[in-house]
Structure 1
Amino acid sequence: MKKKLTLLLLVLLMGPAILAFTHRPAAELPPRPPPATPIRGAQIALVLPPAVVPSPGWWSVVQWQDDRGQWHDVDGWQGTFDPATGRVVWWVGPEHLGRGPFRWLVYDTAERLYEVGRSAPFQMPGQHLTLLEIALMLPAAD
């Protein structure tokens, strides 16, 4: 009986140790993608009057005004209208939120020979994840 008890204890004590050395751990899980970075910023969109369809060559430019009242082009915020929507949309980084004044100019081509219209001065959106729609003012027909 003592031998049986010793054998049973030996199996009970050594069994898990043997299994620990012979058991292979499951393969590591693949790395998880990093958590999404919160989106910081907003958008501005140039909106045309309902009856106006932009010509394919129309060129839009966003400008900012300095302390002396002079207007300057914003690098990177220039381009043509989206043919599907008839709009121009730009991303506004968090460093520009709430700043201004800005304005939007539209020319007949990228060469800027003729101004088609302009927006009133505006401030950039003040909050993240907002869309500010800016209306284009066209000159009155004579």
Structure 2
Amino acid sequence: MTRKLFENRTISILFMGTAVLLLAALMLPLFAAAQEGELPPRGGEPPTATPVPQEPTPAPPTATPEPVAEPAQTGSRLQLHAHYGPNWQWHLTAWQELWTEVQWSDGANWYPVEGWRGQMDNISQVGGQWVSVREWWVGGENLGSGPYRWVIYERQGGAALLTSSPFSLPARGGETMVISVTVGE
């Protein structure tokens, strides 16, 4: 057993020695190449080569792009501001879980607006009260239409917590319409 252990150590030492020698042999050309090159002058030694003046490279011509008139976006923003009242139970429902939906009416029934559903975008404190916001873009073709309403659910597929009063979308582009509601009053 001691002989086998000794042989394994011997083989390991031979293998390591061979690896070190092989590595040194591979690095030898790198050291030789580094010593053949010129070194920069050191402390008071005059330079060994005379610098050759180079003509400055002319700057490439710059083309001035023609201004492109971008079409003005005709649309507005629709925002829901959900204020959290003193009875809001944060431990039961976090603001990120709330699900919002814009609905439109044909005069008899309310229908969800495709694409205007989702969770709140962000939350911040306004005047010491927490307010979360959901925003949608209103395309120019929908300006002035209505009636619409916001519905807030406790979560996607959950029970409705509240429904806003009906409203019409902004009549002109560039406006921001804010519908404010309070949950947990």
Same fold (TM over 0.5): yes
> In the comparison of the two structures, how many residue pairs are matched?
113
Q: CA-to-partner distance for each residue in 1:73-99, whole Å, 9 max, x for gaps?
A: 000000110134410010000111111
Partner of 2:48: none
Partner of 2:141: 95
Deviating above 6 A after TM superposition, structure 1's stretches of 4 or more consecutive aligned residues are none
The change in CA–CA distance for 1:27 and 1:70 in structure 2 (over 3 A counts) is: same
Listed as ranges, the matches of 1:52-71 within 5 Å are 55-67=95-107, 69-71=108-110
Partner of 1:43: 77
The structure carrying a bigger helix percent of its residues is 2
What SS does structure 2 have at the residue aligned with 1:95?
helix
Q: Offset of 1:48 from its aligned partner?
A: 1.6
CA contact (8 A) 1:59 1:80 kept: yes
What SS does structure 1 have at the residue aligned with 2:83?
coil
The change in CA–CA distance for 1:55 and 1:84 in structure 2 (over 3 A counts) is: closer
Q: Offset of 1:138 from its aligned partner?
A: 4.4
The normalised TM-score by structure 2 is: 0.54
Larger radius of gyration, structure 1 or 2? Answer: 2
Unaligned runs of 5+ in 1: 1-25
Alpha-carbon separation, structure 2, partners of 1:60 and 1:93 = 19
Q: Which amino acid aligns with 2:112?
A: D
C-alpha root-mean-square deviation of aligned residues, in Å? 2.4
- Confirm whether residue 118 of structure 1 aligns to residue 163 of structure 2: yes
Identity score, percent: 28
The normalised TM-score by structure 1 is: 0.69
Unaligned runs of 5+ in 2: 1-59, 125-131
CA contact (8 A) 1:59 1:79 kept: yes
CA contact (8 A) 1:118 1:138 kept: no
Q: Which amino acid aligns with 1:87?
A: V
The change in CA–CA distance for 1:27 and 1:55 in structure 2 (over 3 A counts) is: closer
